[in-house]
Each structure stands twice: as structure tokens, then as C-alpha cells.
């Protein structure tokens, strides 16, 4: 066998290993109901959950607790997923900047002891480039 064939086979083997390891880390988008089912089955893979913050009629966030003086790496809040299921989320890192202004939240993590433990929080904040109402003018 030629050296070029051996090198080609090694390159293909390395590429297959890289693809398999990155595919194993990929998580899926689920609701809290499915995340709970996975946890009950013993599946501890990371998942993404999309939701909105729970707010009262005045627009204030309900269920958010963060005290940086006591523990700067403990942040908890209530998230409502797309199926309107409420779930307490714990994040063992500081509260993200502009968290209160976010329209939508994507969390990555898994269920542990009836609480969703988030590893990452991605925020979708309102855009400062809001489309204004355009009035149509009659042109002749």
C-alpha cells in the first residue's frame, strides 16, 4: 500500500471522528414537558428550551431571584415555554446583562431534581431599530 493511501485513510478516519464527536454534543429544542420526561427516563443530555419570562400585569418579572452580595453565582427565575408550561430555572453564574429587557430566552441545560439547571442563557432583546408606521401618501 502506498504512503499516500495510508495518509488518505488516516485523514478520513480523523474527519469521521470529528463529525461523530460534534454530533454527540448537539442538543435539540424541546419543551419543559419533554425535558421532564427525558430526566425521568434517566437521559441527562443537554437540551434547548425557548420561552418568555413570567411577568405580572404591570410587566414586572415574577419569580426572579438574584443577590450578588450573598452568592453572585446563583440566579433563578421562572420561564414559560412555548406550550405555556412554567418552570423554575437555576443558573449557576452571574445574571446576564439586560436580562430584564429580553423578549425571549433560550436556555441550554437539563432537568435535575424538578428544576431546570441551565448551562447557557441566550437572550433576544428588543431591537433598537423598530419599524415605524409608514403612512402612505397618494402619489399622482
Give phi and psi for 18, each to the nearest 5.
Answer: -65, -45
Number of other CB atoms surrounding residue 85 within 10 Å: 15
Residue linked to cell 440566579: 75
Q: How far apart are CA 129 and CA 83, in angstroms?
A: 29
Q: Which residues of the chain have pLDDT under 50?
A: 133-139
Q: So what's the architecture of 27-124 in CATH?
A: Beta Barrel (2.40)
pLDDT in tens, 65-90: 999 999 999 999 999 999 999 999 99
Name the pTM for this structure: 0.69
Per-residue confidence (pLDDT) for residue 118, from 0 to 100: 93
Per-residue confidence (pLDDT) for residue 129, from 0 to 100: 60
Domain boundaries, the chain: 27-124
Question: Measured between alpha carbons, how far is residue 130 from residues 118, 125, 133 in Å?
Answer: 30, 12, 10
Per-residue confidence (pLDDT) for residue 45, from 0 to 100: 84
Per-residue confidence (pLDDT) for residue 44, from 0 to 100: 81
Listed residue (47, 58, 59, 57) closest to 103, CA to CA: 59
Amino acid at each position: 500500500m502506498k504512503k499516500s493511501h495510508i495518509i488518505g485513510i488516516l485523514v478520513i478516519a480523523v474527519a469521521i471522528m470529528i463529525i461523530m464527536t460534534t454530533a454527540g454534543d448537539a442538543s435539540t429544542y424541546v419543551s419543559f414537558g419533554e425535558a421532564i420526561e427525558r430526566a425521568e427516563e434517566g437521559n441527562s443530555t443537554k437540551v434547548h428550551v425557548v420561552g418568555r419570562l413570567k411577568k405580572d400585569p404591570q410587566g414586572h418579572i415574577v419569580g426572579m431571584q438574584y443577590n450578588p452580595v450573598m452568592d453572585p453565582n446563583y440566579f433563578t427565575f421562572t420561564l414559560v415555554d412555548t406550550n405555556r408550561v412554567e418552570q423554575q430555572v437555576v443558573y449557576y453564574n452571574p445574571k446576564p446583562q439586560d436580562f430584564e429587557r429580553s423578549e425571549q430566552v433560550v436556555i441550554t441545560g437539563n432537568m435535575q431534581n424538578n428544576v431546570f439547571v441551565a448551562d447557557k442563557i441566550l437572550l433576544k432583546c428588543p431591537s433598537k431599530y423598530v419599524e415605524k408606521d409608514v403612512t402612505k401618501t397618494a402619489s399622482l
